[in-house]
Structure 1
């Protein structure tokens, strides 16, 4: 065994032989020599390790010609950009792993403008002096939400952190035990509160919290009453929670500010599309809540951002917090957020042009027309390789919002004839344009609710690649 291992190791080409082969190979010969050397060493190291671990043990396993051809493919794959476009066929509209919300065309144009030209990011054009970057969106946010002041940081977790650090550091913050949520990425309210320096005071039980629980917990050390909207789970049955107006009344009685973390805050009532009623930002502000935080890239359909609106007195305090500098948004977030917010000035424009809202509002019959068209093409081209049919399915909003809320949709359902379902699913992820679907009822499901108009051609090509893998 040891002699065979040594023999295989001796068959490995030298680095200079590998480089000579790559120098004549299409698509890699123009790469920097440093990158080629790096790839060759990685590939040789991997092959040596496979030999030593017994994964390559047969004579002829290291045929020189096939080894060098595999090396070319390895370099192609290694040099491809890691961050790439993916077709979302999962049916989850706000898919955290796939980048959450898509941006409208107007936002894309603004981002290109911000990237390719100088801008008035922190310049007041009227005075010619330094201005505030927040001024570009603060008035819009106040107009849309009804709040007195607004601030934007880099995500909602940062918004909650800076608000708690500003209002409650070294003092007590009261929150219902049933609202101590954890969302994706291990964001936990108790952990954020600990980092902020605030002291957590839990009241009530997991399923029931009353006004008296808050009243009994308030002391001279209390700084803030916190309400957390449980957007990513539901407690049903024998439940009770203190609603915003009731909590505001307690806050006013004891001269305490009240904050609500809305999570996936939205500016439109989505119940018109058959979803459960969720509180809008405007409704929460109107209830008297002093500080409201929510995400910019979930139900709002904008870029990643944490938006804080509310009483001018408290917003100004948060703005002056030194950690605001570490959490501030850049010019790309700012330019795209302004564009998205402007669409909300006309609800019909927002529904038509904000992709997240458009996908939520999309009629299932319209989706079926697209699915039928794609199925016919796939059946004509790939009938010998797979059974392909239209199937009624359910889509989800996702992004930690509206749990258990489904939208009727249609999908391409694919059952391979020769390959395993797992092999097709993997091959789609490795296609020239990767595709993410889901496995359901022993079929690969590609839900077209989340496949953008104009992506069908690339989706058809990727399905062909996968079935030929």
Structure 2
């Protein structure tokens, strides 16, 4: 076919594309991308007449535009999103935002060399966890701490260090499944621990643990029911009781708190009265406590294990620790976030500042959007309703915060298409009861005008 003869050579394509935009890119990378485009062109030619009238110049222009689009997509995979879902710690869109002040400090340190494992005074190697451990000692009273890359890693390291080939007791009511179908049993089984289930799904008693302790038992694990609730005819054993039982039998007691609520003063102030804190666990006599750093703590993804120093030392001796420990950026971000909790600077933590919004502030944000859309009522139905926002992130299944939601139903655009067009504008919304819904809880004030403009642009261009 003549059309194949009009497909330019790689040399001509490179020369044409680099003369326009891509002179700074490596030829090897450009050739890989161009070869994919050429393969697509040839496949299309074999089954259709789409390129039947293309000249050599037409192909050059087409390949250039395709290459430009491909490179843009490759280099812009991650972008800022506007969270209008009403879920504050939304796992799929990054959970807790990190404070600007924290990131600015971290950039100064991480963009150069830093004393991650170097004692400047002594001139020798030191423990990378020291700074975080000192802050947690001040905040929670723990003896020591270690920072890992996530909370699943924390459980894996604890179980492998102390329960490999031995029994670990866990209530059937706490055999949880976390996001993306990962189950706690799957993680613990990989550690080499023999998980021994005790009690029943809805009722577990201290006697269920007592009768299952034998010479092969090395630990009791209690897991926070952070993403579900058991109510009605139910019973569970308190951490204080399990701590006493563990000490009486000389076995380890571990509590997975998950959410990362540090201290009790945050409970009443931010509505976390039904969530156990790290301080609660330590005061109850728990040996090791693990929790995520990207939930209530409002830092980057990671996990902290706090508790008795002798047990933390053993964790760091395990070769598996080397594979699971946190890197310099995680350590620096968590360290700078924890510093904010030493002072009255919690308002500089994005997650906390979201929670502290008054009902009037939330209403005013929704009212601005409604007023901006007033002139377009002939194109849609729009109104404000009171709503409930959720903490999310596997933190609590019951805690909500009053909010306001802008509800939209276009007269001309299908609701799913409208939601897709908002996603193209980087605005993530919900569909419920036949309406497109934008909860304003997590929409920053500086983004309100952009949200209104995006909705109007969609209405006017469809």
Residue 107 (structure 1) aligns with: 102
Within 5 A, what are the aligned runs for 1:31-430?
33-46=27-40, 48-49=42-43, 64=54, 74-80=66-72, 81=75, 82-268=77-263, 269-274=266-271, 277-346=274-343, 348-350=344-346, 352-380=347-375, 385-430=379-424
Q: Distance in 1 between matches of 2:272 and 2:43?
A: 54
The size of the alignment, in residue pairs, is 453
Decide whether aligned partners of structure 1 residues 446 and 403 sit closer, same or farther in structure 2, where only a CA change above 3 A counts. Answer: same
Does the residue aligned with 2:122 lie in a helix, a strand or coil? coil
CA offset digits 1:116-138 (Å, max 9, x no partner): 23221111122222221111110
Give 5+ residue unaligned stretches, structure 1.
Answer: 1-5
- What is the match of residue 427 of structure 2? 435
Shift of 1:462: 3.9
Cα deviation, residue 152, structure 1: 0.8
What displacement does 1:37 show? 4.1
1:3 corresponding residue in structure 2 = none
Q: CA deviation at 1:239?
A: 0.5
Is the Cα contact below 8 Å between 2:368 and 2:448 reproduced in 1?
no
Q: Which residues of structure 2 form unaligned runs of 5+?
A: none
Q: Given that residues 393 and 410 in structure 1 are in contact (C-alpha distance below 8 angstroms), is that contact kept between their aligned partners in structure 2? A: yes
Change (3 A) 1:421 1:33: farther
Q: Report if the CA contact (8 A) 1:157-1:187 is conserved.
A: no
What's the offset of the Cα at 1:48?
Answer: 4.9
Stretch of structure 1 that moved more, 32-41 or 104-113:
32-41
Deviations 1:288-322 (Å, cap 9, x if unpaired)? Answer: 01110000011111111110011112111112212
User: CA 1:237/1:67 → structure 2, altered by over 3 Å: closer, same or farther?
Assistant: farther
Aligned partners of 1:172, 1:250: CA distance in 2, in Å? 16
Q: In 1, distance between residues paired with 2:409 and 2:419?
A: 11
When normalised by structure 1's length, the TM-score is 0.88
Secondary structure of 2:290's aligned partner: strand
Please report how far the alpha carbon of residue 463 of structure 1 lies from its aligned counterpart in structure 2 after TM superposition: 3.5
Shift of 1:49: 4.5
Displacement of 1:261 = 0.7
Distance 1:422 1:333, change over 3 A: same
